[in-house]
A and B are shown apart, each in its own frame.
Chain A
Amino acid sequence: MNPANYLYLAALLFTIGAAGVLIRRNAIVVFMCVELMLNACNLAFVTFSRLHGNLDGQVIAFFTMVVAAAEVVVGLAIIVSIYRTRHSASVDDANLMKL
């Protein structure tokens, strides 16, 4: 199978994720979209690893997973605590930093 197809898929997934981040207001959904973008990147890395015949891309993909796991823990904790104080998970409500 042509490896370029994997890259097309990765690009498609990344675009969906980015669009979701920009459009959706629910913090959980935004968060999921971010994860989608990360995984699209992972797919691209693995594909490039295969294309070039070395393991660099795979190693980075593993790094990304580890960091993403840590990030999920922190991010979900923040979202939960915001929800507890504001009774809302909308990202537009958390705008205290605005002037």
Chain B
Amino acid sequence: METLIGLLVAAPLLGAGVLLTGGRRFDRTGHLLGTLFALLSFVFGMVLFVNMLGKNADDRALHSHLFTWVPVEGFQAQVGFQLDQLSMTFVLLITGVGTLIHIYSIGYMEHDERRRRFFGYLNLFLAAMLLLVLADNYLLLYAGWEGVGLASYLLIGFWQHKPSAATAAKKAFLVNRVGDMGLSIGIMLMFTTFGSFAFSNVLPRAAQAAGTQHATITGIGFMLLLAACGKSAQVPLQSWLGDAMEGPTPVSALIHAATMVTAGVYLIVRSGAIFNAAPDAQTAVVTVGAVTLLFGAIVGCAKDDIKKALAGSTMSQIGYMIMAAGLGPIGYVFAIMHLVTHGFFKAGLFLGAGSVMHGMNDEVDMRRYGGLRKFMPITFVTFGLGYLAIIGFPGLSGFFSKDKIIEAAYAKGGTEGWILGSAALLGAAITAFYMTRVMLMTFFGEKRWVPDAEGHEPHPHESPKSMTVPMIILAFGSVFAGGLFSINSSFVKWLEPVTGHSEGNSPVSTGTVTAATMVCLVIGVGIAWLMYGRRSVPAVAPRGSLVTRAARRDLLQDDFNHVVLVRGGEHLTRSLVYLDHSLVDGVVNGSAASVGGLSGRLRRLQNGYVRSYAVSMLGGTAVVVAATLLMRAV
């Protein structure tokens, strides 16, 4: 069984190797090969899952040590895998959704001449992401962390002939680097404090050392949070996610909705022992989560680009997960549960958006959609189920997972609990609003279609089977996953041995929370219907209020970055360049010039006249004689 864990990672890695180095001979079969390797990985994952189910709850973790990466005295970097319930959940999500999106991409990328390369990158991403969740130490996790960053960069910039895509890829890479610095510093701190990278070593000792090395552990916690912020697009490192929508839509669905952006949540839940020992870091985590869940939701309300609206929504939903992860043992399980259900419905929503774009000549502006439900019935139904799941319609996935998070937030207790719970409730209302807005603008109302730049009238049509089947499967997940996880608290029991779990004492009863959530939902949907359902949608965006205009500009995040970081950086580099030119170059050039001037003067002595040499010889001799005589006399 242990060998299978290695094969799980090796299959997509092999796929990436074959597709990226194999050249044109795989142009015809590349997409099938890529899908096959992803499917293979999923099958291995299922085998391991069934095997794991057959064991005792406390005895389910599998370890597989491959080799020693850096065998140096005092610095042992191991390559080893650890498959426990938490990793297993991710493996199934990554390979399952990954395989579906591979299948979807066969249809979506059919007319792209670089399709083979696309599948190679997708496989590379799967391999890196699996490495990330299967690593049994932080250093190997870091390798996977960088790997997914690379794959994300390559895929966002896949249509690199578009300058906007190339820029977006660079932006994502740069912002992610800030977070990666946090992770690497955190790992270094761990090594100097505990002398090891392994989860099995660091985590128990962090729990023990809570009293004695409080400051260090808090520092590690903050560094890990910075890393999570970068990868999961949380405030203040959120600015890259909206632009990342320049990538092909399957990429947005797989990487920027379902899997990679949730790596930050994984990191925090995996490092739970560290955060439990550092309450200050936990407070920072919940703050980041709560701020982002509102931030993303507000941005999502103002965007007319369907993918960017969904990106704002992703940010907001991950904010929920981060917040839950910051609540400690009362929230870890629910963070992961929301992560999985979100993986289903958000991937489904993105695939639906891709299907709509596919039928509408790649138009992304929702003001130019309208009335599509009759033309794309399957897309409409699957997208609609995803929509109901994300707003938390009773009985669907989002209802169970989001409710639990809101409840856990209240259970945090004290003023903090009330603030967090209310933020989460408000977020639920805004979620209902913007998702209803997306739904109404896209599928309802009158047609506002316009011909594309080349004058082709859009002829919306249902997408091919390779695209609709994954959407249907994901819609099933969106509907049933949450309920399945909640029956008999099965998900809590499944994850509890790894993450730990405690029931909080909520000051508000479960029934009240559910009722409050329902009220928020109805208010959100109602306002959206009044604004976009009852009235017709103007084809050109109205000027809007100050908040709307700010939200259209991503709540001025880019402007902030530009003014503070870019300008500040420019001023810093300019003054450094000035210093370099005036001081450093001044010293170097000055010394060179003075040596040159001095030697120019010395050169004059060499005038070529024998007489003058003779004079100097005579003078020298006279000096030597005089000195000798003087010494004698003394």
Nearest CB on B from A88, distance (A): 14
Q: A98's closest neighbor in chain B, by CB?
A: B608
- List CB contacts (< 8 Å) of B178-198 with chain A: none
Instruction: Tell me the bound Cα distance from A18 to B611 in angstroms.
Output: 10
- Name the B residues within 8 Å of A92 (CB-CB): 609-611
- Name the A residues within 8 Å of B603 (CB-CB): 99
Nearest CB on B from A62, distance (A): 24
- List CB contacts (< 8 Å) of B582-627 with chain A: 603, 606-611, 614-615, 618
- Name the B residues within 8 Å of A96 (CB-CB): 608
- Name the A residues within 8 Å of B615 (CB-CB): 22
Instruction: Tell me the bound Cα distance from A30 to B611 in angstroms.
Output: 10
- Name the B residues within 8 Å of A98 (CB-CB): 606-608
What's the dominant secondary structure at chain A's contact region? loop
- Name the B residues within 8 Å of A94 (CB-CB): 610
Q: A24's closest neighbor in chain B, by CB?
A: B611
Selected from B606, B607, B608, B618, the residue in CB contact (under 8 A) with A18 is B618
- Name the A residues within 8 Å of B614 (CB-CB): 21-22
- List CB contacts (< 8 Å) of A74-99 with chain B: 91-92, 94-99
Q: A21's closest neighbor in chain B, by CB?
A: B614
Instruction: Tell me the bound Cα distance from A85 to B99 in angstroms.
Output: 94
The interface centre, meaning the residue of B606, B607, B609, B610 with most chain A CB atoms within 10 A of its CB, is B610
Q: A95's closest neighbor in chain B, by CB?
A: B608
Nearest CB on B from A91, distance (A): 5
Inter-subunit contact B610/A91 (CB<8 Å): yes
Known contacts A18-B618, A22-B618; is-contact A97 B611 (Cβ 8 Å): no
Instruction: Tell me the bound Cα distance from A16 to B279 in angstroms.
Output: 102
- Name the B residues within 8 Å of A21 (CB-CB): 611, 614
Instruction: Tell me the bound Cα distance from A91 to B608 in angstroms.
Output: 10
Instruction: Tell me the bound Cα distance from A21 to B614 in angstroms.
Output: 8
Instruction: Tell me the bound Cα distance from A99 to B601 in angstroms.
Output: 12
Instruction: Tell me the bound Cα distance from A25 to B213 in angstroms.
Output: 91
Nearest CB on B from A1, distance (A): 27
Inter-subunit contact B608/A97 (CB<8 Å): yes
Q: B610's closest neighbor in chain A, by CB?
A: A91
Inter-subunit contact A95/B609 (CB<8 Å): yes
- Name the A residues within 8 Å of B609 (CB-CB): 91-92, 95
Instruction: Tell me the bound Cα distance from A21 to B609 in angstroms.
Output: 12
- Name the B residues within 8 Å of A99 (CB-CB): 603, 606
Instruction: Tell me the bound Cα distance from A23 to B614 in angstroms.
Output: 10
- Name the B residues within 8 Å of A95 (CB-CB): 607-609
Q: B612's closest neighbor in chain A, by CB?
A: A22
Nearest CB on B from A6, distance (A): 20
Instruction: Tell me the bound Cα distance from A3 to B280 in angstroms.
Output: 107
Instruction: Tell me the bound Cα distance from A21 to B608 in angstroms.
Output: 15
Instruction: Tell me the bound Cα distance from A94 to B614 in angstroms.
Output: 15
Map CB proximity to A onto B151-166 as digits: 1 under 8 Å, 0 otherwise: 0000000000000000
- Name the A residues within 8 Å of B611 (CB-CB): 21-23, 25, 91-92
Instruction: Tell me the bound Cα distance from A60 to B564 in angstroms.
Output: 89
Nearest CB on A from B615, distance (A): 6
Nearest CB on B from A93, distance (A): 10
Instruction: Tell me the bound Cα distance from A95 to B607 in angstroms.
Output: 8
Q: B606's closest neighbor in chain A, by CB?
A: A99
Instruction: Tell me the bound Cα distance from A12 to B618 in angstroms.
Output: 16
Q: B618's closest neighbor in chain A, by CB?
A: A18
Q: A94's closest neighbor in chain B, by CB?
A: B610
- Additional pairs, 18, CB under 8 Å, beyond known A22-B618, A23-B611: A18-B618, A22-B611, A22-B614, A25-B611, A30-B610, A91-B610, A91-B611, A92-B609, A92-B610, A92-B611, A94-B610, A95-B607, A96-B608, A97-B606, A98-B607, A98-B608, A99-B603, A99-B606
> Which residues of chain B have a CB within 8 Å of any CB of chain A?
603, 606-611, 614-615, 618
20 A–B contact pairs at CB < 8 A? A18-B618, A21-B611, A21-B614, A22-B614, A22-B615, A22-B618, A30-B610, A91-B609, A91-B610, A91-B611, A92-B609, A92-B610, A94-B610, A95-B608, A97-B606, A97-B608, A98-B607, A98-B608, A99-B603, A99-B606
8 A-B pairs closest in CB distance: A98-B608, A95-B608, A91-B610, A21-B614, A22-B611, A99-B606, A22-B614, A99-B603
